[in-house]
């Protein structure tokens, strides 16, 4: 395991289908502006069944171009994110579904949504899990991993 870097840490708990397969993704070492960006992004993936029509992106398939436009709009809304976050999420506005190599899905899955089950892939569209909850923690200093002290070989 790695040390937990100083800064904010965000936990995203997600599910798919009918509340199956809960998972938690964790991002560490963030600044406050990064946290605001990630929370705004995560809250877009509320369940489509729990909000007025068209407001939630969770538990549905979406075209990559729609997801990318959404991310770019949120980066515009949060201009003070860290250089690391900006570089990671600053996707080309010219990106289209024919160019899709799954990059937007991988970003969303790796950082917020977790991986969907195999049965949820659909050609040209990306399945988005539902964000159930978000928790934010602050570590003023790096937290050292001491697992090796207890698991000596």
Q: 85-105, pLDDT tens digit by residue?
A: 999 998 876 665 555 557 788
Q: Residue 40 — φ and ψ, nearest 5°?
A: -55, -40
Terminal CA-CA length for the chain = 15
The residue ranking higher by pLDDT, 133 or 64, is 133
Listed range (52-56, 57-61, 90-94) with the worst mean pLDDT = 52-56
Please state, in angstroms and rounded to a whole number, the distance separating the CA atoms of residues 5 and 137.
12
What is the model's pLDDT at position 101? 59
Beta strands across the sheet bearing 20-30: 20-30, 7-16, 130-139
Mean pLDDT in residue range 36-42: 96
What is the model's pLDDT at position 115? 75
Say if pTM beats, i.e. exceeds, 0.95. no
| Domain spans, the chain | 7-150
């Amino acid at each position: 395991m790695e040390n937990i870097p100083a800064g904010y840490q965000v936990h995203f708990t997600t599910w798919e289908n009918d509340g199956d397969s809960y998972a938690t993704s964790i991002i560490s070492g963030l600044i406050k502006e990064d946290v605001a960006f990630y929370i705004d992004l995560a809250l877009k993936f509320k369940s489509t069944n729990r909000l007025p029509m068209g407001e939630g992106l969770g538990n549905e398939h979406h075209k990559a171009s729609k997801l990318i436009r959404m991310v770019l709009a949120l980066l515009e809304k949060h201009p003070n994110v860290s250089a690391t976050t900006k570089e990671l999420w600053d996707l080309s506005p010219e990106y289209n579904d024919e160019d899709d190599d799954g990059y937007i899905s991988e970003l969303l899955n790796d950082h917020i949504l977790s991986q969907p089950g195999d049965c949820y892939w659909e050609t040209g569209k990306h399945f988005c899990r539902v964000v159930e909850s978000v928790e934010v923690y602050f570590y003023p200093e790096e937290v050292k991993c001491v697992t090796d002290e207890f698991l000596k070989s």
